[in-house]
Structure 1
Amino acid sequence: MRRKWRPGLAFVLGGAMCGTLLLSLTGLVAFRFLGPEIGYRNSAVLLAVIITAATAVLGWLLIRLLLRPIFALERFATQVVRNPADPLSPPSRFGTRELGITAQRVIDMAETLRNRETTIRSFSDHVTHELKTPVATLRAATELLKDDDALSAQTLRLVDQIASAGIQMEQQIEAMRQVARARESRHEGSTSLNEVLDALCRDYPNLEIRVDGGDVDIPMASKGLLVVLRQMLGNAREHDAQVVHLSAISDETQVALQVRDDGHGISAGNATRVFDPFFTTKRDQGGTGMGLAIVRNTLRAHGADITLMPVRDAAIFSIRFEVG
């Protein structure tokens, strides 16, 4: 297939500047010679029409070679961000050679990231599906063993341990499914802390929830923000917190959301691992270690990130949304 020629960016910009300068100089020279022949007013009108038409042609070329490809690439990037699972529809026109190279790199990157997300999702679906049957079999077997009156007390304790391990596996499978879902779920829209406060108070009646900056606009729909805050308030309750303080502030570049509780806090040794999947200090109590991993994946799907602040005798998480 014959490759289509694309002008270089320097050629387009240099040609536009030279063309503009040439039009001005040509207009002055033509006006000097045409003025005495057809009159200065008529020559001025004629040259104005010609220069306007030539400038419009130059403008059309700049729009076609620069603006249209940039806008098309912007629409493509927006499509990838908002609907990562949809088939890719890359732009068909790239304008200059440099824009074409840049656009192709962006398209390749989007395809790579999409394939990686598809692989992760397929792997998690496959693993959860394959583990579902043996876990169900294990649960049924332990229930049958418990009904056997001939088993000794020691054997029954072993059966209870096996049953507990089966329940833990089911929880891990569900947590893995939630993490994979959080990587691709987007909650478009915006909300504020005041709008989700009633739901949080109903879900956690034993926690005192204090709010500052409750009317600050947070760039995430209420459903998504509730996913994040419910996970974090659940962690605070597990660490014996009595009060959780939510505060939000914003400026021209970002929205900052802080979640602080008065629980036992997080030790320095665990602070670097709290966002790792499956890391938990409460596995014997049914913890899966997926709560903060789900929070981080959900936030990153919205262009935000979360960090743990280094403090003692408390837990402070800082969430930052980039805006503007």
Structure 2
Amino acid sequence: MPGRIRAKWRPPLALILGVTLGAVLALPAAGILALWRLAPSLGWREAEAVIASVILVLTALLGWALWRVLLRPIRALAARATGIAAGTDRASEPLAHYGTREMQRLGQAVLDMGATLAGREAVLRTYADHATHELRSPLTAIRGAAELLSEPGLAHADRMRLAARIGTAAARMDALLDAQRALARAREPRFVGRTTLAEVVPALHGGPEVAVEGADVPLPLAAEGLALVLQHLVGNAAAHGARRVTLTAAPGRLTVTDDGPGVSAGNRGRIFEPFFTTRREAGGTGMGLAIVATLLEAHAGTIRLADEGPGARFEVSFP
């Protein structure tokens, strides 16, 4: 989670610039007026010296204020941005001072951007590890079958069996690569919009019975994105034996409950990991829930597996 900047009153930049310009215009005028007032009693030279000293002090104070409110936060924020790019541990912590409201918003944007980039880097590293592991098995099967096919005395039946093994391994790799492309697309925030369950549920045909509660509640996701989320969740429920799925919408919240066997305690912590599946023999890639979680994260949403129910119960939350 990115660091959150403590909320407190900060002057707007327009106020700082207005005060600075006002001071630049007012100091010479005030100096001339003071000179005409003080010169008769102090003398011209003495009045000039006093007024010049006061103007220098006020200018120094104004310069210090601008340094504290503008220059110091800008330099510190630039240093934090450099630290985020370099991967420094404490670079994601908020600054002590931000000066103006605009600097505060910019600072929070920098922290959020750093957290997003760090999260994407971690996801890519994890995904690369999983992908390497998953692709190694079909590659090993193809390599072994190819070596056996090179044997000159191999029977025809064995050749056909090895060829079928190569085809199965190739199909597995193709499915994994398709899932990889789907996961990459899910990271893009391209489903911005609002829709309701009533608009997308009719497209969920050919699976278990779908019951809807709160069909007209608007959810902060475009119809295409919500349909993709529901297709994966309902399809996942059907693949595990569910016959009925209940969709419940409330403002900023969507619940998907099925009457299937649920998720075992040993698998609850891994179901959103890429490539984790209990249906590998049936051709499952283990990417459906990972795609759902990634798509929702790209649109500031979250999904969790609730503890309730004999079946599986997924709770989707939006800000």
Query: Is 1:185 the counterpart of 2:189 in the alignment?
Result: yes
- Deviation larger for 112-121 or 231-240: 112-121
Q: Give the aligned partner of residue 314 of structure 1.
A: 311
CA distance in 2, matches of 1:100, 1:245: 45
SS in 1 for 2:267: helix
SS in 1 for 2:169: helix
Instruction: Tell me if the contact between 1:209 and 1:244 (Cα under 8 Å) persists in the aligned partners.
Output: yes
Q: Give the aligned partner of residue 177 of structure 2.
A: 173
SS in 2 for 1:97: coil
Q: Tell me: CA distance 1:109–1:191, structure 2 relative to 1, closer, same or farther (3 Å).
A: same
CA distance in 1, matches of 2:153, 2:102: 76
Q: Give the aligned partner of residue 284 of structure 2.
A: 287
CA RMSD of aligned residues (A): 4.0
Write out aligned runs for 1:26-37 (5 A). Answer: none
Query: Is 1:97 the counterpart of 2:99 in the alignment?
Result: yes
Post-superposition shift, 1:287? 0.8
Structure 1 gap ranges (5+):
1-7, 20-64, 67-95
Query: Is 1:256 the counterpart of 2:257 in the alignment?
Result: no
Instruction: Tell me if the contact between 1:304 and 1:319 (Cα under 8 Å) persists in the aligned partners.
Output: yes
TM-score, L = length of structure 2: 0.57
Q: Tell me: CA distance 1:224–1:99, structure 2 relative to 1, closer, same or farther (3 Å).
A: same
Q: Tell me: CA distance 1:311–1:294, structure 2 relative to 1, closer, same or farther (3 Å).
A: same
Q: Give the aligned partner of residue 266 of structure 1.
A: 263
TM-score, L = length of structure 1: 0.57
Q: Tell me: CA distance 1:188–1:111, structure 2 relative to 1, closer, same or farther (3 Å).
A: closer
Instruction: Tell me if the contact between 1:261 and 1:316 (Cα under 8 Å) persists in the aligned partners.
Output: yes
Write the letter of the residue equivalent to 1:235: N
Write the letter of the residue equivalent to 1:246: L
Following superposition, which runs of at least 4 residues in structure 1 exceed 6 angstroms of deviation?
10-13, 117-125
CA distance in 1, matches of 2:315, 2:116: 29
Q: Structure 1 vs Structure 2: percent identity of aligned residues?
A: 39
Query: Is 1:229 the counterpart of 2:230 in the alignment?
Result: yes
Q: Tell me: CA distance 1:114–1:273, structure 2 relative to 1, closer, same or farther (3 Å).
A: closer
Q: Give the aligned partner of residue 219 of structure 2.
A: 218
Write the letter of the residue equivalent to 2:172: Q
Instruction: Tell me if the contact between 2:11 and 2:99 (Cα under 8 Å) persists in the aligned partners.
Output: no
Q: Tell me: CA distance 1:283–1:218, structure 2 relative to 1, closer, same or farther (3 Å).
A: same
CA distance in 1, matches of 2:263, 2:120: 34
CA distance in 1, matches of 2:317, 2:123: 26
CA distance in 2, matches of 1:258, 1:236: 13
Aligned residues: 220
SS in 2 for 1:190: coil
SS in 2 for 1:271: coil
SS in 2 for 1:259: strand
Post-superposition shift, 1:113? 5.7
Query: Is 1:161 the counterpart of 2:165 in the alignment?
Result: yes
Q: Tell me: CA distance 1:100–1:245, structure 2 relative to 1, closer, same or farther (3 Å).
A: closer
Q: Tell me: CA distance 1:247–1:118, structure 2 relative to 1, closer, same or farther (3 Å).
A: closer
Q: Tell me: CA distance 1:195–1:112, structure 2 relative to 1, closer, same or farther (3 Å).
A: same
Instruction: Tell me if the contact between 1:186 and 1:298 (Cα under 8 Å) persists in the aligned partners.
Output: no
Q: Give the aligned partner of residue 210 of structure 2.
A: 209
Query: Is 1:303 the counterpart of 2:307 in the alignment?
Result: no
Write the letter of the residue equivalent to 1:185: P
SS in 2 for 1:283: coil
Summarize deviations over 1:18-76 as a string: whole Å, max 9, x none: x9xxxxxxxxxxxxxxxxxxxxxxxxxxxxxxxxxxxxxxxxxxxxx99xxxxxxxxxx
Post-superposition shift, 1:167? 1.2
Write the letter of the residue equivalent to 2:258: D
Post-superposition shift, 1:265? 1.2
CA distance in 2, matches of 1:118, 1:303: 14
Post-superposition shift, 1:311? 3.5
Post-superposition shift, 1:162? 3.0
CA distance in 1, matches of 2:219, 2:270: 27
CA distance in 2, matches of 1:213, 1:9: 42
Write the letter of the residue equivalent to 2:318: F
Q: Give the aligned partner of residue 25 of structure 1.
A: none
Q: Tell me: CA distance 1:154–1:313, structure 2 relative to 1, closer, same or farther (3 Å).
A: farther
CA distance in 2, matches of 1:185, 1:149: 56
